[in-house]
Amino acid sequence: MITLAQMKAARALLDWTQKDLAKLSGISPAAIGQIESGAGNPRAETMKIIQLTFEKYDIEFTDDPGVKIKREPFNVNLWQGREAMLKCWRDIEETLKGGGDVRISPVDDELWKSLYPKEMLEMFKRRTERNIRTLGLLTDPSKNESKWASKNYRLVPESAVTPHAPYYIYGDKVALIKMRDPIRIILIKSPTLAESYYTQFQYHWDNGKEF
């Protein structure tokens, strides 16, 4: 029988609410809430139904006890220092070597230009040659270095972004960036996580303004 911790972890991994789990398993929302609160002792049959519901959506329960999504790659790399951003740019080009979109929130081309003046110009050139398009959210139009591509940017309120912790989404990867010195980048390869960030980005994009 799965544990309470595994149940909560599986629901979080699928980004389900208690109501989502209740609807898909046929167990009442009140019962789900009671189980997760640790109140009482749920019947083995109830926990088995919950387990089978998760497994139907590709959740695998391990003996650790742990939880993972079947067959989904999940890799993490940590880069830091001046080379971190250059490694990220190279990884974008390698991942999208057949062309594609990289989504950035928020865009601050002026900052990167001040840190990597030569490298940034070369990066823009390579992306153009490889048909890699940048879609970005920004709060200040002056931070858009590639003025010709302003149609690919959207103005959003400051509350929609985190300036000191931007993120990049490309392919099935998410790059989380800490701007403090030294720069640190956590690169995560996970289709599920990337989809979650895509959804978040798209929401702000749809509500942003062209300029």
pTM for the structure as a whole: 0.64
What residue spans of 38-133 are helical by DSSP H? 44-56, 83-95, 109-115, 117-129
CATH of the domain at 159: 3.30.870.10
**Residue ending a domain, choose from 13, 48, 69:** 69
Specify whether 47 is located in the same domain as 90. Answer: no
65 and 79 housed in the same domain: no
Q: Tell me the per-residue pLDDT of 50-73, one tens digit each, with 9 for 90 and over.
A: 999 999 988 999 888 889 887 767
Query: Which domain covers residue 122, as residue numbers?
Result: 75-207
Question: Which domain CATH number covers 50?
Answer: 1.10.260.40
Regarding whether 191 and 113 lie in a shared domain, the answer is: yes
| Same domain as 97, residue 14 | no
Helices and strands (H, E) in the chain, number of each type = 8, 9
pLDDT-based confidence at residue 150 (cuts at 50, 70, 90) = low
Of the candidates 146, 66, 161, 56, the residue with the CA atom closest to the CA atom of residue 105 = 161
**Residues 99 and 191 grouped into a single domain:** yes
The C-alpha angle with vertex 12 and arms to 11 and 16, in degrees rounded to 5, equals 55
Higher pLDDT, 71 or 132: 132
Average pLDDT of the chain is 89
Q: Which of 46, 49, 51, 73 is nearest to 62 (CA)?
A: 51
Q: Do 142 and 46 belong together in one domain? A: no
| Of 113 and 127, more confident | 127
Query: Could you tell me which of 177, 135, 176, 137 has the C-alpha nearest to residue 157?
Result: 137
Q: Do 37 and 16 have their domain in common? A: yes
Shared domain check, 125 and 63: no
pLDDT tens for residues 82-121? 899 999 999 999 999 999 999 999 988 778 888 888 998 8
54 lies in the same domain as 92: no
**147 falls in which pLDDT band (50, 70, 90)?**
low
Q: Are 137 and 104 in contact (CB under 8 A)?
A: yes
Q: Last residue of a domain, which of 69, 103, 121? A: 69
Q: Count the domains in the chain.
A: 2
Boundary residue ending a domain (52, 69, 86): 69
Residues 64 and 105 in one domain: no
* Beta pairing class for 100-105 and 66-69: unpaired
Helix axes 18-25, 29-37, angle to 10 degrees: 120
Alpha helices in 106-169 (DSSP H): 109-115, 117-129
Residues composing the chain: 211
- For residue 143, the model assigns a pLDDT of 63
Question: Higher confidence at residue 90 or residue 163?
Answer: 90
Which string of b and e fits 10-41 if b means at least 16 CB within 10 Å? Answer: bbebbebebeebbeebebeeebbeebeeeeee
One domain, residues 122 and 187? yes
Same domain for 190 and 89: yes
Q: Residue for token digits 């699928």?
A: 14
80, 90 contact by CB (below 8 A): no
